[in-house]
Structure formats: structure tokens, C-alpha cells
């Protein structure tokens, strides 16, 4: 009787140990107990990693909650995030703060090994010709990239084809982003998203995210 009881107890222990070793992964970009959550990076560069990030960003920026995002609301949201990146509060995002942004706030924009949101595979592995993707560059572009052009950096996760939202605001290429440059960048970004030029953005008129399936 003793031996069967011992074997039964051991089987229970092994089953418990196996279950403890195979929990669903969690952490940045993942929902508990489910598949990887879709990372969204706002036009100003703020990452949203849980749930519907696009809707969460829009709701937070839509200050009066009327489902219409105006230019002033868009720019106010951009200035709010400027204060997050400008850690010393001196009104300028310097090179060190820009590095902190890309290393701690939105490290996904420089991780070349990350799987792209369209599921096409890791961006950092060599392609068929052995060439590795280039590091994120500066620049602005509308939400839909040209055919055959692979997005880089933050552009893989956002509405605009802009690889580095913080450095992309550095208009004079000084390595520092002033509040004026940031405001000007926010105004340009709003204009790029306001495709019909009516001065407001709505969720259903925003360009599709990279990898999103077109509506049937």
C-alpha cells in the first residue's frame, strides 16, 4: 500500500511543477494569459501596451470627450508627453533625455529583433540577401507607407510613418528639441492625420495601423 501511495504523491507533485513552469508570459506588450498585446505608439511617441492602445490614446487626448480630437487638444496631449520626456523640466529634450526615451520609455523602436505588428517576422534578422534593416531615421509621412517600403522604429506601431518621434521633432538637427520645435512637430503631425482638412480627427477617419486588416 505504501509504494502506490508514494507513486501517486510523486505524480501529483510532477503535475504541479509542470503547471508552475508553463504560465502564460506577461510583461510589456503582452496581455496576461493571452497572445501578445498590440503595441501602439502615439504620434508624439508615447507607448500604449495594454488593450486597444489607439483608443486609449485618443480618449485621453480628447479632453472634452466629444469623440472629436481638435488641433488644440492634440497639441496639448503632445505637450503633456513632452514633460514626461523632459525629465529635468528645463523645457528642452537633450540628447541624454532622448536616449532615455528610446532605452526606457519606448525601447521597442530600436529593437531590431522585434516581431513587426503585421506578423511578418523579426525586423532584425537578415533577409534573403543577408542585409539587416537600418536603424530608425528621421522623417514624416502619412499613415500608409508606399508599397514595398518597410516601416522602421516607431512607424511600425503608429499612425505616422515616422521612425523616431522625439528626434523627428528636432527641426534644426541640433540634437536638442525645444518646446517650440515640439509644438511645431505636433501641428505638422495633426495636419498629416487630418486628411480631409476639417480641423478635427475621429477614430474612424484615422489611417490604418501597420498590419491592420482592411475593412471588408
Span 149-164, mean pLDDT? 91
pLDDT tens profile 29-72: 334 444 446 899 999 999 999 999 999 999 999 999 999 999 99
Q: Give me 6's grid cell.
A: 508514494
> What is residue 2's predicted lDDT score, i.e. its pLDDT?
52
pLDDT of amino acid 149: 53
174 close to 94: Cβ distance less than 8 angstroms: no
Q: Each residue of 185-210: pLDDT tens digit?
A: 999 999 999 999 999 999 999 999 88
Give residue 7's pLDDT. Answer: 47
pLDDT band at 176 (very low <50, low <70, confident <90, very high): very high
Write the DSSP symbol of residue 144.
S
CA dihedral 182, 183, 188, 189 (to 10 degrees): 70
* Sequence-separated (6 or more) residues with CB below 8 Å from residue 75: 183, 186, 187, 190
Place of cell 543577408: 130
The alpha helices in 22-131, defined as continuous H runs, are 53-61, 71-85, 95-100
SS3 53: helix
How large a percentage of the chain has pLDDT more than 90? 59
Q: Tell me the pTM.
A: 0.68
Q: Which residue has the higher pLDDT, 130 or 48?
A: 48
The confidence score (pLDDT) of residue 116 equals 42
- Return the pLDDT at 212: 60
For 89-126, the pLDDT digits (tens) are 999 999 999 999 999 999 999 985 444 444 444 333 33
pLDDT at site 22? 32
Q: What is the pLDDT of residue 158?
A: 96
Q: Is the pLDDT of residue 214 over 90?
A: no
The 3-state DSSP class for residue 122 equals strand
Q: Are the C-beta atoms of 185 and 202 separated by less than 8 Å?
A: no
Q: Domain spans of the chain?
A: 36-114+137-205
Amino acid at each position: 500500500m505504501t509504494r502506490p501511495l508514494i507513486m501517486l504523491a510523486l505524480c501529483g507533485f510532477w503535475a504541479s511543477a509542470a503547471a508552475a513552469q508553463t504560465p502564460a508570459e506577461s510583461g510589456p506588450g503582452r496581455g496576461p494569459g493571452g497572445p501578445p498585446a498590440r503595441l501602439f505608439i502615439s504620434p508624439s511617441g508615447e507607448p500604449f501596451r495594454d488593450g486597444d492602445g489607439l483608443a486609449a490614446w485618443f480618449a485621453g487626448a480628447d479632453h472634452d470627450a466629444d469623440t472629436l480630437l481638435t488641433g488644440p487638444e492634440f497639441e496639448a496631449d503632445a505637450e503633456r508627453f513632452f514633460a514626461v520626456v523632459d525629465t529635468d523640466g528645463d523645457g528642452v529634450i537633450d540628447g541624454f533625455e532622448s536616449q532615455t526615451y528610446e532605452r526606457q520609455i519606448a525601447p521597442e523602436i530600436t529593437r531590431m529583433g522585434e516581431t513587426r505588428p503585421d506578423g511578418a517576422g523579426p525586423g532584425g534578422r537578415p533577409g534573403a540577401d543577408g542585409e539587416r534593416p537600418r536603424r530608425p531615421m528621421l522623417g514624416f509621412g502619412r499613415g500608409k507607407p508606399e508599397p514595398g517600403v518597410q516601416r522602421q522604429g516607431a512607424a511600425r506601431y503608429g499612425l505616422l510613418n515616422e521612425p523616431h518621434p522625439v528626434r523627428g521633432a528636432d527641426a534644426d538637427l541640433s540634437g536638442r528639441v525645444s518646446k517650440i520645435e515640439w509644438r511645431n512637430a505636433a501641428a505638422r503631425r495633426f495636419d498629416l492625420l487630418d486628411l480631409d482638412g476639417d480641423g478635427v480627427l475621429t477614430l474612424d477617419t484615422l489611417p490604418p495601423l501597420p498590419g491592420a486588416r482592411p475593412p471588408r
